[in-house]
Structure 1
Amino acid sequence: MQMKTYAKTLAVALSLAVVAGCSSSGGTQEGDMNGTSGGTSGQGMTSGQGTSGSQMGANEQRPSVDTIYFAFDSEEIRPEFESVLRGHAQYLMANPNTNVTLQGYADERGTREYNLGLGERRAQAVEQYLTVQGVSPSQIQIVSYGEERPAVQGHTEEAYAKNRRVVFSY
């Protein structure tokens, strides 16, 4: 009888741990087209955010720019975003228990299938850059949303440019 109570208590505790582990801090922080921080919402460089129990020093803070942008129909990393990528690489190497999901996106031009592939290729290009810098591939996951979840609604070149991106999600 006591074993059943113990098993039930353990099941409830595990369920609560899973729910707590899946909770999100919400929101994202976007960068502008030049790799500098856009409108901040208080989620920039705060210590302890996104880590798995490691203590962080001042030089190990997460970069405040979480988005890089791409040219039309291209997965080539633009030179103005290399410093952003190096910052993320340094952060991930300093925090080996931290994982990141690279979310690849495309603008609405092209078929849904093509845009999913393009978003994936963009995220893979960022992953390759990070691993060449020394980040462990086990810390990186890739997901492509293609043209789904646009950052900006609209059918202008400016809107399209903001939707061609990879977002770092810690």
Structure 2
Amino acid sequence: MKKLVVVLLLIGIIAGLFISSSQTYEQQTIVPKLQQLLPGQPLEQPLSKLQIPYWGKTISVEERGYYYFVEFLARKSAHFFTFGALAAVFFWLLPKIRFRFFIAAFMTFLAASADEFHQSLTGGRTATWQDVALDMSGALVFLIIVQLFVSFRSNSRKSRTMG
């Protein structure tokens, strides 16, 4: 039953990625929703101090405007967390073999690369290696957390059976 839930989660993440990569920026933008949800531009002062180098540009509130900058942060956070979750799902679906961490990371890299390629086929969208790097950073962070959890759990079980 647990494997079925994880497989369904995998299907959901991949379907979500496919749908997202198929949409143009105009179909996907959350700026109008942000304008409704964040009237008065809360946290504008601290956010205006952030400058993020990305794709040869510096992304900031000054450069993009408040709502477009918040959208940028949300979109890049979605990359990080979605591919982190995907890596964790790959990890849990793989048999308990020695290199499953690296296999899950490689499978996530392939998925991230395929996602960027698919996005490049969508009008008005651009594929970037920076997004693959961001995807992989999320994947590696999640995989490290999962690996630590598995190791801790394994050590905890060993100490209970020995004690």
TM-score, normalising length from structure 2?
Answer: 0.33
Higher strand residue share = 1
**Bigger proportion of residues as helix:** 2
Calculate the TM-score normalised by the size of structure 1. Answer: 0.32
